[in-house]
Structure formats: structure tokens, C-alpha cells
Amino acid sequence: MVQHYIKGLDEPNPWYTTDSPFGGPVAPVIVYQQADSEFKGWYLDNLFGNLWRRQEWEIYAPTRVGQVLRCSARVADRYRRRDRDVVAQEMWVRDEAGHLIARSFHHQSFLAAQTSGEVTLRDPASKEGARQGEEPSGEPLSIELRKTFTEAMCNEFFYRSRNYHNDKAASKELGFGDTVIGGRMTLSCVTELLTRYFGRGFYLGAAWT
């Protein structure tokens, strides 16, 4: 898992393979993030045009490479947003002793009526807060990440299966004109930036919404 993550994102952080401030290699902070999709039955039937909408995470402890974790989840909410139905799943990640490692909410949106054709995405310029000019004041972080995800990187990151994140035909079946870069990959850029900036503090009590 860690090797696919490193290659898929092109993020060779030595903490993941050699040593870290926790003694020995530590996994990327939410390396277990795909566990939420392994629970069956919470997706709605119409997968056409489904997209990630929102995530929230709380991190309480690092995960060691090779450590066994246990995940549990529930459907926490279901609501309507414009032309989409949204399902929110809450997930808990625990170590073998039952200590909480992380907690998350994942909001997945499903088109309420459209089941074929081409998905119409809203114009980015029309979205609230989606363009520059609405940024908070403050001190810019001293680092930033610049990436371009290729199909090869998507194949590496989503090595478990072929889906609309690494297969154009699968993407077209869901109404998209090209493969859609997976939210897990862009989310990981956020956590990589914050891991680099905060260091160990990011593993010991971080949260993002």
C-alpha cells in the first residue's frame, strides 16, 4: 500500500520507508482512506455521474507500516444538494487494542435523476468560493506542492481495480469525457503538504473539514 501511494503521488517521503520521528517507518497519515469504499451497501443504486463532495478527518495517532487496523462505519446522513442526493458515511479507524487512530466523514454525491448521456459539470466560475479572490488573509505556508497526475500515476495509485479513475471506458459509462482524477489523490496532496509543514504534529491531533 505504501509503495503504491509513494509511486502514485510521486511523494518519496523517507518517513514512509526508512525512519520517522516516531521510530521506524510510519505510513502516510491516511493510508487507510480507501477502507470507506470497502463497506458495501451505502452507495445509492444510480452510480452515473457520482462524485466526491466533501470529507472531514480527525487524526489521533500515527499508523506504523505493517500495523493491523480495524475499521467500522455507519451511514451518518443523507440529504439533497441541487440535482444530487448525497450520502455521508462516518468511519472509525482503531488499532488492535481499540484505541482510536482516526475518524472520518465522507460525503458522496449521486445524480438524482440522470442515468445516461453526459454529465454536465457546473461552470467553475459560477461556484461560490471556487475561484481566487475569496481567500482568507494570513501567512502563506513556506512550502507548496506542484503536481501533474498522469494516467500511469492513476494506475499506480488505484492499483486494486479498474474504475473511472484509471479507465476511460469505465469513465464514459458514468458520463464523464475522460478519466476523473480520484479525490483520494488530490486529498493526499493536501495531507502531504501538511505532513511536510507540521511534521509529527500532523499525526498527533490534526483535523480538517
Partner 1 sequence: MKFTNVLWPNEPFTTRGIITGRRVESGQTRAEVTVFCEKADGTKIIVASASALEG
Using CB under 8 A, list all residues that contact partner 1.
51-57, 121, 124, 127, 129-132, 135-141, 144-151, 154, 176, 178-181, 183, 186-187, 189-190, 192-194, 197-198, 201-202, 204-209
> In the 8-state DSSP scheme, what is residue 163?
S
Shortest distance, position 136 Cβ to partner 1, whole Å: 5
Cβ neighbours, 10 Å, residue 89:
19
When the beta carbons of 23 and 129 are compared against partner 1, the nearer one is 129
Among 66, 11, 2, smallest CA distance to 195 is for: 11
When the beta carbons of 78 and 81 are compared against partner 1, the nearer one is 81
Cα separation, 208 vs 50, in Å, equals: 23
Cα separation, 61 vs 22, in Å, equals: 10
Shortest distance, position 152 Cβ to partner 1, whole Å: 10
Shortest distance, position 170 Cβ to partner 1, whole Å: 14
Shortest distance, position 191 Cβ to partner 1, whole Å: 9
When the beta carbons of 84 and 98 are compared against partner 1, the nearer one is 84
When the beta carbons of 1 and 121 are compared against partner 1, the nearer one is 121
When the beta carbons of 31 and 107 are compared against partner 1, the nearer one is 107
* Angle value at C-alpha 156, between 151 and 162, nearest 5 degrees: 75
Among 159, 155, 188, 141, smallest CA distance to 11 is for: 188
The CA–CA distances, whole Å, from 15 to 18, 141, 190 equal: 6, 21, 17
Shortest distance, position 157 Cβ to partner 1, whole Å: 12
